[in-house]
Amino acid sequence: MKFTLVILTLNEIDGLKGVFKHVPVAAFDEVFAVDGGSTDGTVEFFKKNGVKILPQKSKGRGEAFRIAVEKAKGDVLIFFSPDGNENPADLPKFKQFFQKNDYDIVIASRMMKGARNEEDSEFFKWRKWANNAFNLMANVFFRRTGKYVTDSINGYRGIKKEAFKRLKLDGEGYTIEYQMTIKAFKKRLKIFEFPTHEALRIGGESYAKSIPTGIKFLKVFFKELFGHEKK
Ligand X SMILES: Nc1nc2c(ncn2[C@@H]2O[C@H](COP(=O)(O)OP(=O)(O)O)[C@@H](O)[C@H]2O)c(=O)[nH]1
Site for Mg ion, rule CB under 5 A: 83, 85
**Cβ proximity of 71 and 54 under 8 Å:** yes
Give the bridge partners for 193, in sequence order.
107
Q: How far is the CB of 87 from Mg ion (least distance, A)?
A: 12
123, 111 contact by CB (below 8 A): no
Nearer to Mg ion, 190 or 216 (CB): 216
Q: Classify residue 116 by its DSSP letter.
A: B
Closer to ligand X at the Cβ: 83 or 224?
83
What minimum distance in Å lies between the beta carbon of 4 and Mg ion?
A: 21
The entry of Mg ion, ligand X, none near residue 34 (CB within 5 to 8 angstroms by kind) is: ligand X
Q: Is 80 or 98 the residue whose CB approaches ligand X more closely? A: 80
| 85 in contact with ligand X (CB under 6 A) | yes
- x/- string (CB under 6 A) for ligand X, residues 9-48? xx-x---------------------xxx------------
Selection from Mg ion, ligand X, none that 104 binds (CB < 5 to 8 A by kind) is none
Continuous segment of H or E residues that includes residue 105: strand 105-109
Q: Which of these segments, 75-83, 97-105, 164-172, 189-197, binds ligand X (CB under 6 A)? A: 75-83
CA gap 151, 136 in Å, rounded:
9
Q: Is the dihedral of CA 98, 104, 108, 109 positive or negative?
A: negative
- Total residues found in the chain within this entry: 231
Three-state DSSP class for residue 149: coil
Distance CA 215, CA 57 (A): 24
Binding site for ligand X (CB under 6 A): 8-10, 12, 34-36, 56, 59-61, 64, 81-83, 85, 174, 201, 206-208
